[in-house]
Structure 1
Amino acid sequence: MRGFKAFSAFCAMLLMAVSLAGCAGSSTKESTGGYIDDTVITTKVKAALFNDKSIKSSEISVETFKGRVQLSGFVSSSQSANRAVEVTRRVQGVRVVENDLRIK
Structure 2
Amino acid sequence: MKTSLKITALLALLTGGVLSLSTGCAGTATQQSTGEYVDDAAITTKVKTAMVRDEVVRAMQVDVTTFKGNVQLSGFVDTAEQKARAEQIARGVNGVTAVTNNISVKAAAE
Written as runs of structure 1 = structure 2, the 5 A alignment for 1:65-76 is 65-76=67-78
Q: Distance in 2 between matches of 1:84 and 1:16?
A: 39
Q: 5+ unaligned residues in a row in structure 1: which ranges?
A: 1-14
**2:90 equivalent to 1:88:** yes
Per-residue deviation at 1:101?
0.1
Looking at structure 2, the residues matched to 30 and 81 of structure 1 have their Cα atoms a distance apart, in angstroms, of 28
Matched pairs, number: 93
Q: Which runs of 5+ in 2 are unaligned?
A: 1-16
- When normalised by structure 1's length, the TM-score is 0.81
The TM-score normalised by the length of structure 2 is 0.76
CA distance in 2 between counterparts of 1:86 and 1:35 reads: 23
1:100 counterpart SS class: strand
Fraction of identical pairs, as percent: 44
Q: Which residue of 2 aligns with 1:50?
A: 52
- Which residue identity lines up with residue 81 of structure 2 in the other structure? Q
1:21 to 23, 26, 33: 23
Quick one: structure 1 residues 73 and 16, their matched pair in 2 at CA, closer, same or farther if it must change by over 3 Å? closer
After superposition, give the CA deviation of every residue in 1:5-38 in whole Å (9 maximum; x if it has no partner): xxxxxxxxxx986653321110000000010000
Distance 1:19 1:37, change over 3 A: closer
Superposition RMSD in Å: 2.1
1:55 and 1:17 map into 2 onto residues whose CA distance is 44
Report the 3-state secondary structure (helix = DSSP H, G, I; strand = E; otherwise coil) of the residue aligned with 1:28.
Answer: coil
Corresponding position of 2:102 = 100
- Identify the residue that residue 62 of structure 1 maps to in structure 2: 64
